[in-house]
Structure 1
Amino acid sequence: MKKFIIATRGSKLALWQSNHIKNELEKKFDGLSVELKIFKTKGDKILDTPLALIGGKGLFTKELEDAMLKGDAHIAVHSLKDVPTILPDGLILGAITKREDPRDAILSQEYTSIEDLPPNAVVGTTSLRRRMQILHIRPDLKIKDLRGNVDTRIKKLKNKEFDAIILAYAGLKRLGLLDEVKYITPIDEEIMIPAMGQAALGIECIKDDEVLNIVKSLNDEKSEIETTIERDFVDTLQGGCQVPIGVKATLLENGDIITRAVIGLPNGKELLKDKIYGTKENYKELGKELADSMIEAGAKELLKRAEEIAFKD
């Protein structure tokens, strides 16, 4: 194969991610030419509505998947947290890249942390997961929906529409924006558990042996193990990308794994947290086991109420 086509969104972060994979593939395979084709997804087109209200899964992936299934592209590079746990027939998750720092970060021109925010401060986020966890520790804060690309969100912060905003630290680092705001503080995972797959790139591809062999060269075993646990957890709960679920697996150097998870109501008034310990040898069981344990504790009923609140708000 001499020409390889990547379907991508047109945002700066999506283009960075796709160009990063393009460069890695061209370095690994002499004579391989990789081209980017840009598509707009539903999540890119609807910017005036909270993501949770748009509905459906794959808000940032479906159009890219359609392009691959039509033969217009071989692969698509996604932020793994945006990729549904069930993929369309004919497509496969071919590789998961080495993970960046998976933490969320709080950005502010005046305040250094969540604790430092004054009473009734306005915080911007699109994520029900982030909303849930920040309101649980600071119920006085005013959470305001924040849409648009990373540059747009930072501009709104600088225009004083918000006292602080919350974004993924990995995206800021990849785009070279860590000096763009006076205070950018990663939030400890004990305070805010990340989304499944956060900070890893997922390479989705057509089911073709030649394509798959090329893509698999970029797979990172540690990332694959951690994110498989996280995706199994969400899949067992049958929770989509837009419900308040946080889950983070950590593979330690000695082969032990700890996985933490949280679900709850978007208003932060009720949270259910749990964790499970395991090893590299039994990682394929851990996500389901943790989900089953939380289901026994009422997780599905809590998520149903969370969804009702999200749509009502």
Structure 2
Amino acid sequence: MQMKPYRIGTRGSPLALAQAYETRDRLMAAHDLPESAFEIVVLSTKGDRITDRPLAEIGGKGLFTEELEEQLGDGRLDLAVHSSKDMPTVLPEGLGIVAYLEREDPRDAFISGAGGALEELPQNAVVGSSSLRRQALIRRLRPDISVITFRGLVDTRLRKLAEGEVHATMLAYAGLKRLGKAEVATHLMDPESFPPALGQGAICIEARVGDERIRDLLAPIDHAETHSALSCERAFLGALDGSCRTPIAGHATLSNGQISFYGMILTPDGATFHEIRVEGPEADAAALGGDAGAEVRGRAGAKFFESWV
């Protein structure tokens, strides 16, 4: 019998907390447990503390997980809640992603004080984004636009936009919805012409490998279709050694036991890109994603990746 509360680790941003509370509430409902059966443990990560530089300059995706994983590994936490797109493809020994909540809308939200869409911005407009993927895709569609690094919490970015620092910015629509701010989006990007980050919109839960008690706890809230889709997407990313230094995009969808995946890699200026589409049985999701990544990597050649460093 669980005597102490289950300790759920999370970052302290409003979005991270919303995701942790959603996970807790789903666990409460699934197991008919009271709120007191869980404790939300808030940790500050290096990625949260350093906001004046691009992630690629200070270490990439692991910046948002390292402190959580340290406490998860030594038993101070029972599970950790993350945005899937923040997760490195290689996790610390003994840790793994055990469950995914049902995915929210994976599209990017375009936000402009003047309203409208990316194609409606004036010539030489300025767009703020911290994502190399978004920066590259914006440059691919609108080479005239100046893209600047734009980090900070959602409210910070929206304030900078309102103050006129940029003409527009982009955020994950799923995050806006979870924060109750969906109405700020002036346009939703088409995932065909502007594919999302791998894992965007999905909350994942990390735990110790072999901890059957926690695995059994999480099993009822693990969404099977999201788990399959993310297995495909993360395998694609893993085959490409994806990190915050690499503009990589893609999205997997499922229908009637079949998985369809569309992936893309770009140079940071958006001028050169390689894309791929594959489909097959849901049971082969990870293999399909890994094979797609390997094919794109071979097609692009080593020099393509060297140019990202």
TM-aligned CA deviation for residue 55 of structure 1: 1.9
Considering only aligned residues, what root-mean-square deviation do their CA atoms show, in Å? 1.4
The question of 1:111 aligning with 2:115 is answered yes
Match in the other structure for 1:219? 222
The question of 1:178 aligning with 2:182 is answered yes
Distance (Å, rounded) in 2 between the aligned partners of 1:295 and 1:7: 35
Report the number of matched residues.
Answer: 304
Q: How does 1:262-281 map to 2 (within 5 A)?
A: 262-281=264-283
Q: Which amino acid aligns with 1:13?
A: L
The question of whether the paired residues in 1 share the 8 Å contact of 2:105 and 2:174 is answered with yes
Distance (Å, rounded) in 1 between the aligned partners of 2:302 and 2:140: 19
Mark the runs of 5 or more structure 2 residues left unpaired by the alignment.
none
Q: How does 1:21-170 map to 2 (within 5 A)?
A: 21-31=23-33, 33-170=37-174
- SS of the aligned residue for 1:59 comes to helix
TM-score (norm: length of structure 1): 0.93
Match in the other structure for 1:298? 300
TM-aligned CA deviation for residue 69 of structure 1: 1.6
Mark the runs of 5 or more structure 1 residues left unpaired by the alignment.
308-313
Q: Which amino acid aligns with 2:257?
A: G
The question of whether the paired residues in 2 share the 8 Å contact of 1:264 and 1:306 is answered with no
TM-aligned CA deviation for residue 301 of structure 1: 2.9
Match in the other structure for 1:235? 238
- SS of the aligned residue for 2:106 comes to coil
The question of 1:5 aligning with 2:3 is answered no
The question of whether the paired residues in 2 share the 8 Å contact of 1:246 and 1:262 is answered with yes
Q: How does 1:187-226 map to 2 (within 5 A)?
A: 187-207=189-209, 208-226=211-229
The question of whether the paired residues in 2 share the 8 Å contact of 1:5 and 1:35 is answered with yes
The question of whether the paired residues in 2 share the 8 Å contact of 1:225 and 1:283 is answered with yes
The question of whether the paired residues in 2 share the 8 Å contact of 1:81 and 1:241 is answered with no
Distance (Å, rounded) in 2 between the aligned partners of 1:223 and 1:17: 16
TM-aligned CA deviation for residue 96 of structure 1: 0.9
TM-score (norm: length of structure 2): 0.95
Distance (Å, rounded) in 1 between the aligned partners of 2:118 and 2:263: 20
Match in the other structure for 1:245? 248
The question of whether the paired residues in 2 share the 8 Å contact of 1:132 and 1:265 is answered with yes
CA deviation map 1:198-257 (0-9, x unaligned):
1000100123110111012211111011110010011111122442100211112x2232
Q: Which amino acid aligns with 2:49?
A: K
CA deviation map 1:119-167 (0-9, x unaligned):
0111010001111111001000010111110010001111111110011
Distance (Å, rounded) in 2 between the aligned partners of 1:215 and 1:110: 44
Distance (Å, rounded) in 2 between the aligned partners of 1:275 and 1:150: 32
Distance (Å, rounded) in 2 between the aligned partners of 1:219 and 1:265: 35
